[in-house]
């Protein structure tokens, strides 16, 4: 089941950098929020605070309305699926074994049940015929779809994508974005950090524009892209569109 997620008043200092300066973000259950903004604005750090890879100095994170800051971090990260720019698949394991590993170790599934689940997830991402291949024999786009299948096999309540298509050859980007669109329309809650403005505009329910550790503007895609209110967002859009 998809969950809502809320971050309120989030602050984080790393070293001498006040990286997050009072972030508020809310994602309704079953909706997709894209986070856009210049490099270094704190997008990745925000995702890392929302799934507690960093503990915030101030503020709270609520999943389904309940604070997660006292929840066991390992348990929390099972509830949040994460897909990165680099897929980090185990090269010596088959595609199916990469997907089955988490459900076996963390969800206690038997070998057969985990294998069946892996195949089922591979069907969803259109790669059932690659179950016994090694990741190295797949294209970058296929590997990223395996990474998405691996995250989905944990039955997450929300998915985070951090520049999931940035490392892909241009001709492979469309397939991964298409899969992400399908997940979104299937009712998955998602936060998507991306430079793909077409995706942000056409798929997301909400867009968050970050700059220098703050949310500068947030709203529906049409409002942000066609009627940006701040000079900072107008400048950013003029550079990326
Ligand atoms: P984005 O994902 O928007 O490009 P990041 O969240 O990666 O931005 O980084 C935001 C800022 O935080 C950058 O200025 C970066 O240098 C800084 N930062 C990230 N991680 C650390 C760290 N471990 N120590 C100090 N500064 C960091
Ligand atoms: Mg980043």
**Domain spans of the chain?**
5-89+159-238
pLDDT at 164 over 90: yes
The pLDDT of 182-187, averaged and rounded, is 97
CA–centroid distance, 43 to ligand 2, in Å, is: 5
**Does ligand 1 lie within 6 Å of residue 48's CB atom?**
no
φ, ψ of residue 117 in degrees (nearest 5): -65, -40
pLDDT at 52 over 90: yes
pLDDT of the residue at 21: 98
CATH assignment of 5-89+159-238?
A: 3.40.50.300
The pLDDT of 11-32, averaged and rounded, is 98
Quote the longest CA-to-CA distance of the chain.
56
pLDDT of the residue at 42: 98
pLDDT at 1 over 90: no
**Does ligand 1 lie within 6 Å of residue 19's CB atom?**
yes
In ligand 1, the atom with minimum distance to the C-alpha of 41 is 3
Residue pair 131/94 in contact by the 8 Å Cβ criterion: yes
pLDDT at 77 over 90: no
Return the ligand number nearest the Cα of 23: 1
Supply the residue whose CA is at minimum distance from atom 27 of ligand 1.
14
In ligand 1, the atom with minimum distance to the C-alpha of 17 is 26
**Does ligand 1 lie within 6 Å of residue 14's CB atom?**
yes
What are the tokens at 109? 């599934």
The pLDDT of 183-194, averaged and rounded, is 98
ipTM tops 0.90: yes
Distance of CA 115 to the CA centre of its chain: 24
- 11, 16, 17: residue to mutate for ligand 1 pocket, most atoms within 8 A of CB: 17
- 12, 35, 42: residue to mutate for ligand 1 pocket, most atoms within 8 A of CB: 42
Separation CA 213–CA 22 (nearest Å)? 8
**Does ligand 1 lie within 6 Å of residue 45's CB atom?**
yes
Work out the mean pLDDT of the chain and round it to a whole number: 97
Contacts for 127 with CB less than 8 Å, ≥ 6 apart = 95, 138, 142, 145, 146, 149
pLDDT of the residue at 67: 96
- 18, 19, 36, 84: residue to mutate for ligand 1 pocket, most atoms within 8 A of CB: 19
Residue pair 157/64 in contact by the 8 Å Cβ criterion: yes
Residue pair 118/127 in contact by the 8 Å Cβ criterion: no
Separation CA 22–CA 59 (nearest Å)? 8
Supply the residue whose CA is at minimum distance from atom 14 of ligand 1.
40
Q: Is this model's pTM higher than 0.90 or not?
A: yes
**Does ligand 1 lie within 6 Å of residue 35's CB atom?**
no
CA–centroid distance, 186 to ligand 1, in Å, is: 32
| Alpha-carbon separation of residue 99 from 74, 86, 124, 167, 228 (angstroms) | 18, 16, 13, 21, 41
Residue pair 152/144 in contact by the 8 Å Cβ criterion: no
């Amino acid at each position: 089941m998809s969950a809502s997620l809320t971050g309120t008043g989030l602050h984080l200092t790393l070293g001498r950098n006040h990286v997050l300066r009072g972030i508020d973000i809310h994602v309704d259950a079953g909706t997709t929020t894209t986070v856009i903004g210049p490099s270094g604005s704190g997008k990745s750090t925000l995702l890392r605070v929302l799934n507690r890879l960093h503990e915030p100095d101030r503020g709270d994170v609520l999943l389904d309305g309940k604070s997660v800051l006292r929840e066991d971090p390992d348990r929390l990260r099972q509830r949040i699926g994460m897909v990165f720019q680099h897929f980090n698949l185990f090269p010596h394991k088959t595609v199916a074994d990469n997907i089955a590993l988490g459900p076996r170790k963390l969800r206690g599934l038997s070998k057969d049940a985990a294998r069946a689940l892996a195949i089922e997830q591979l069907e969803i991402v259109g790669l059932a015929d690659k179950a016994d291949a090694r990741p190295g024999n797949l294209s970058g786009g296929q590997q990223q779809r395996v990474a998405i299948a691996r995250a989905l096999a944990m039955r997450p309540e929300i998915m985070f994508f951090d520049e999931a298509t940035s490392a892909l050859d241009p001709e492979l980007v469309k397939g991964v974005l298409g899969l992400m669109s399908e997940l979104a329309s299937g009712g998955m809650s998602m936060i998507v950090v991306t430079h793909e403005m077409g995706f942000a505009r056409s798929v997301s329910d909400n867009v968050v524009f970050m700059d220098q550790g703050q949310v500068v503007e947030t709203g529906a895609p049409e409002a942000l892209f066609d009627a940006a209110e701040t000079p900072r967002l107008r400048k950013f859009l003029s550079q990326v569109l």
